[in-house]
Amino acid sequence: MSLPSFQTLKLSLTTDGVLTITFSTPGGNAMSPELFKEWREAIRYAQETDAVKVMVQTGSGRYYSSGKDLRPTMHDSFETEMNEEMDILEDLINALINFQKPSIAAVNGPAIGLSVTSLALFDFVYAVSSATFTVPFMRWGFCAEGCSSLLFPRLLGRHTANELLLAGSTLSASALKAVGFLEVLDGGEFIHEVNKKASILASYDPTTVRVTKSLVNERYRQELMTVNHTELSTLKVMMMKHNSRKAIQDFVDERAAKQQRKKSKL
């Protein structure tokens, strides 16, 4: 069957119904507004297509995702662009919250920012042993998103949640395995090992799986959507503050200067 075509994602579907969505953008699969839109549409496709039994999310190349694609902030249209982006992001997170089929995150390398916080919305998280997890929100003047303000303390424990969200520490896959957040898969080719897990899920009766997942998640669904809205409403305010805009703009300017220096050496 024909699969949707995207600029920032690659999709593949196995004969047994495992849909793999792969982040595929320059710069370590950075998350742009375009990626948010396409990721949301890919999740909707997975939800609405009967041939899809399980959804797997992974990244191409060395990174799972390097996090938000930081762009210039010191211009007149920034607030409008940022508000539009936050609205798309809220829809995206809600799509993950409301996804009715089994979902798997296959973390193939470093994960940063939203690509870390959103992991708690997947049913299963698998990672290579070399994967690292960083949430540098304090550096940019951001706040928690992806429902991490609720789910990280609940799933990781208060200390580990604060190491990520407040301290901005980089944690290893083994550290998150120790608190029961993920499973490390090192045998054979990583994505092949993930697909073996996914194929088992795909072999079960879809109705039975959907009903059981609903029983597990339904009591939390509305709470998560409320938290999602609160987090992103707060993030809109935080991103408009001068310290946040300046921190991002300084980073963007330094990145551009580094790229120019590299070109000058060629």
Which domains, ranges and CATH numbers included, belong to the chain? 9-265 (3.90.226.10)
Predicted pLDDT at 256:
83
Sheet-wide strand order for 54-59:
9-13, 18-23, 54-59, 103-107, 124-127, 183-184
CA-to-CA dists, residue 9 to 60, 71, 166, 176, angstroms: 9, 20, 30, 27
- Cα 117 to Cα 31, 83, 132, 260: the distances in Å are 13, 20, 13, 33
The full length of the chain comes to: 266
pLDDT of residue 193: 96
The pLDDT, as a whole number, for residue 266 is 64
pLDDT 10s digits, 232-251:
999 999 999 999 999 999 98
- Closest listed residue to residue 94, CA positions, set 228, 240, 245, 234: 228
What is the token pair recorded at 22?
């792969």
Residues 6+ apart with CB under 8 A from 229: 90
| pLDDT < 70 positions in the chain | 187, 266
| Calpha distance 86→215 (Å, rounded) | 30
DSSP letter, residue 75: S
Would you state the pLDDT for residue 188?
A: 73
pLDDT, one tens digit per residue, over 89-129 is: 999 999 999 999 999 999 999 999 999 999 999 999 999 99
pTM for the complete prediction? 0.94
CB contact set of 9 (below 8 Å; sequence gap of 6+): 21, 22, 23, 24, 35, 38, 39, 42
Q: What pLDDT, on the 0 to 100 scale, is given for residue 70? A: 87
